[in-house]
Chains A and B, each alone.
Chain A
Amino acid sequence: MDSGSGEIILVFASNTRILSAEDFLEERSAPFVLIPVPKEVNPNCGLAISLEEGDAEAVLKVLAEAGLLPESVYYRRGDEFSPREFPWV
């Protein structure tokens, strides 16, 4: 994604947590996409949640309220990844 805004990637420790988060966000029609975990940030074999940068704060807030926070959050622009801090994570 390199269209002016960046991509926010949520990485979860457990597969069960990301499935709970997926279920929770789908029920709320929240905007997100599942992607394979980028190997640049995490060696696990499963999935991560990708968000438009502008949607990240609202999505993370509802995930925090549901007790479904990710283990880490990354900002991606092109091939560059950097950790991103959010107050709830």
Chain B
Amino acid sequence: MIYLDNGATSFPKPPGVLEAVLAALSQPASPGRSGHRPAHEAAKTVYRARRNLGALLGFPNLERVAFTPNVTVAINLALNGFRFRAGDRIISSALEHNSVARPLKLLTETAGVIWDLVYPREDGLVHAADFGKAIRPETRLAAVCHASNVTGAIAPAREIKEALGDIPLLLDVAQSAGSLSLGDLGSYADLVAFTGHKGLLGPTGTGGLWIREGLPTRPLAVGGSGSRSESLEHPDFLPDALEAGTLNVHGLAGLAAGVDFILEKGAAAVRAGEMELLATFLDALGAVPTATVLGRAIPIAKRVATVSLNLRGWSSSDLAARLEKDYGIMTRAGLHCAPLAHRAMGTFPGGAVRFSFGAFNSPGEALEAARALAALGKEKN
């Protein structure tokens, strides 16, 4: 199998991730709920995940990292804190995944929020200046995917924040965390939503939200926290305020190990490897004249290792099916839960086939995928 669907979930996971999950499953796991040694070990496992994420992504205060089951919940949690009212405005890019787009759409319907979209320019990139132009007196938040899960385009997050000024920036790093060197996110983003099972190389069921000091928070659920046990009110301090119920200790053990792998290898080395894969694949696609790459003009330095394309004469679903059947290549066809992005790129509703490379792919696999596309392209032209 050649696995090129790391944008959906990364595979394989480093051996240390499997070992860490198994080790966590092999002992009791009740973090912060008891005073005995195994409970403390479970709490330390969760703490290690927090600490590693803080180190990799540049979160200055670990107490402001709240774990969630995934990035979608993290984004909903972030939005929930703002208590939006009718007439408030939120800016997002037009490359958002549904994890951002659907909550924003719902806010327009339930709270009367006005949603302003910033479209990519001809170069396939969103530009900070366009976020600046979208600001109105009522703008209360900007929500931006750091890297598109369709085109791989990287949003200039630091420059966007400079354009926003005091308006908080919620950055969705689902496709960039672990792939880009992001050791200073806390210096410009105000809220960071992440998932554990993609570039961070952890298990599914892990994710979280970092929130800058001073920003409002409001839980999506209340209940057990292991703290303030005497009270019927849920605690108001972080992270307990946003972490009702026992955390996914087994998943977080794997996430801590996944981030350990990246920290040991070095985020810059991971990025360099993925850029090599990207360059190899895009270069080899030069021999596939019937391929149309979404955002072909986006330079490699402004992409994560994700390439979506269509092949003349092929539907995206048929192409992905043949890649799997004849070549053992796993890709993802369709709209990638990002209808806005496909509309912006002119590929709605047919979508495209996405090739998303990861930390364990080789240049040979990228070449194999390009060769397969060349052969399938000839078949219908």
Contact = CB atoms under 8 A, between A and B. Distances in A.
A20 B239 CA distance: 12
Interface in A30-44: 34-37, 43-44
Interface footprint category on A: 10 to 19
Nearest to B64: A16
Given A37-B35, A45-B32, A15 B226 contact: yes
Contacts of A43: 229-230
A45 B34 contact: yes
Contacts of A36: 35-36
Given A13-B237, A20-B63, A35-B35, A44 B47 contact: no
User: DSSP majority for the B interface?
Assistant: loop
A36 B235 CA distance: 20
Given A43-B229, A45-B33, A13 B51 contact: no
A13 B226 contact: no
Given A14-B237, A15-B227, A16-B50, A45 B35 contact: yes
B226 A44 contact: yes
Interface in B24-81: 31-36, 40, 43-44, 46-47, 50-51, 61-63
B5 interface: no
B43 A44 contact: no
B47 A16 contact: yes
A57 to B, nearest CB: 24
Given A20-B47, A23-B51, A45-B34, A14 B40 contact: no
B63 A44 contact: no
A14 B35 contact: no
Interface string B208-235: 0000000000000000001111100001
Interface size class of B (residues with CB under 8 A): 20 to 34
Contacts of B227: 13-15, 44, 46
Contacts of B88: none
Contact of B240 (A15, A20, A37): A15
Nearest to B239: A16
Pairs of residues from A and B, 4 with the lowest C-beta to C-beta distance, nearest first:
A36-B35, A15-B32, A19-B47, A43-B230
10 contacts: A14-B235, A14-B239, A15-B31, A19-B47, A44-B228, A45-B34, A46-B32, A46-B33, A46-B226, A46-B227
Given A19-B47, A67-B61, 20 more contacts: A13-B228, A13-B235, A14-B235, A16-B50, A16-B62, A16-B63, A19-B44, A20-B47, A23-B51, A34-B40, A37-B35, A43-B230, A44-B226, A44-B227, A44-B230, A45-B229, A46-B33, A46-B34, A47-B35, A47-B40
